[in-house]
Amino acid sequence: MRCCIKSSRTDRPKLIILFGPTGVGKTDILDRLFSDRARLKAVDGSLPCVEVISADALQIYRDLDIGTAKPEADLLSRIPHHLINILNYNESFSAGEFVSRTDALIPQILHRGSLPVISGGSAFYIRSWLMGLPPTPPVNPAIRKKIEEQWRTRRDEEIHAALSEIDPKSALRISTKDRYRMLRALEVYSQTNRPLSDIQVPSQPHRNYRTLIIGLHRDRKELYQRINDRVDRMIDAGLEAEVAALRFQGARLEHPGMKGIGYREWFTQSSPQSIADLIARNTRRYAKRQITFFSSLEGVHWFDAAEPLEISGLRQTIADFLKGESNTLDQEAMGEDNPRMLVRMASSPTKAIEHEEIP
């Protein structure tokens, strides 16, 4: 069923961004707001359909189901989701690819008369779409392979020391445990002969979509307990068997999908309990980083995911945002050959973050 919200053709198309730290309850909120049984009612009584573009760095991978807390099949049947189950675990996916795929998906969703909702916890993906990507060079496979081979057997501390010599500013920002970002900085220097820190991060948002930015939060203690409980449920649901099946297929720690929390721990520990404890600890730390970044954004409508009254307020905020206005593309403004003419809008610039594709 085509369900759009009516308005004049001069309105900028609208979309919603819904984010929050891992474990805050984004999937549940999406279900409560937008499923067939709980859609928001527009002023004229119609029901706005939504399609979700997933901003999650690991749910893109097939067969990584339990450890990524993918939405259940029932929810996916009721709310269309994009950028889930699109790659194999040994394939890379960058923020640039997320931006380009999202840019392509939004006009398609709008043409179907639906409301695009970008939802997830990968801060770098969301920021990159809102603000645009820094002009870093695209990955050169030959240079990447050379850098990875050069440092494959070296300790993280040695890599960090080498980075400090050529790019001390990046070295200060990048943890000695973040091997991916250290190698990426070395890769950029090798490719351009310029430090990564010299490349300016965009500070002005794009302005042709009307964007409602929604942030979800919870009490920190409650959030951490939810994370602990979720890890326990993952173990009970068969995460160990899921990882074993992936390893039997040939998955290795260096594969992009295996670098995420919930998977990489099985390559470094042997006791299931110690693995579960490590996953929970790493997830809590990741959530803390997400909170730090998300709280730096301005123009965000914040809601406590644990409070029913706040969820009622969230529902009203979305209804007010959508009230009486169109969410279809203006073909005349777009032009047949310029699908990116309509770009993105945020309320204000955000602080730079470096790389958060793999949590």
Report whether 29 contacts 18 (CB < 8 A): yes
Q: What is the pLDDT of residue 39?
A: 54
Lowest mean pLDDT among 14-28, 166-180, 324-338: 324-338
Average pLDDT over residues 330-334: 38
Q: Which of 230, 239, 349 is nearest to 299 (CA)?
A: 349
Q: What is the pLDDT of residue 298?
A: 77
Q: Which of 266, 285, 286 is nearest to 276 (CA)?
A: 266
Q: What is the pLDDT of residue 205?
A: 60
- pLDDT (tens digit, 9 = 90+) per residue, 210-267? 999 999 999 999 999 999 999 999 999 999 999 999 999 999 998 999 999 999 999 9
Q: What is the pLDDT of residue 203?
A: 61
Q: What is the mean pLDDT of the chain?
A: 83
Q: Which of 46, 52, 41 is nearest to 17 (CA)?
A: 52
Q: Which of 234, 239, 211, 267 is nearest to 22 (CA)?
A: 234
Q: Which of 8, 354, 4 is nearest to 184 (CA)?
A: 354
Q: What is the pLDDT of residue 270?
A: 82
Lowest mean pLDDT among 67-81, 145-159, 164-178, 322-336: 322-336
pTM: 0.79
- What percent of the chain is modeled with pLDDT above 70? 81
Indicate the pLDDT class of residue 127, thresholds 50, 70 and 90: confident
Rounded to whole angstroms, the Cα distance separating 343 from 16 reads 14
Structural domains of the chain ordered from first start: 14-133+209-334 (3.40.50.300), 141-195 (1.10.20.140)
Q: What is the pLDDT of residue 255?
A: 93
Indicate the pLDDT class of residue 186, thresholds 50, 70 and 90: very high
Q: Which residue has the higher pLDDT, 300 or 46?
A: 300
Average pLDDT over residues 341-346: 34
Which of 147-161, 275-289, 329-343 has the highest average model confidence (pLDDT)? 275-289
Rounded to whole angstroms, the Cα distance separating 216 from 298 reads 14
Q: Give yes or no for residue 288 having a pLDDT over 50.
A: yes
Q: What is the pLDDT of residue 339?
A: 32
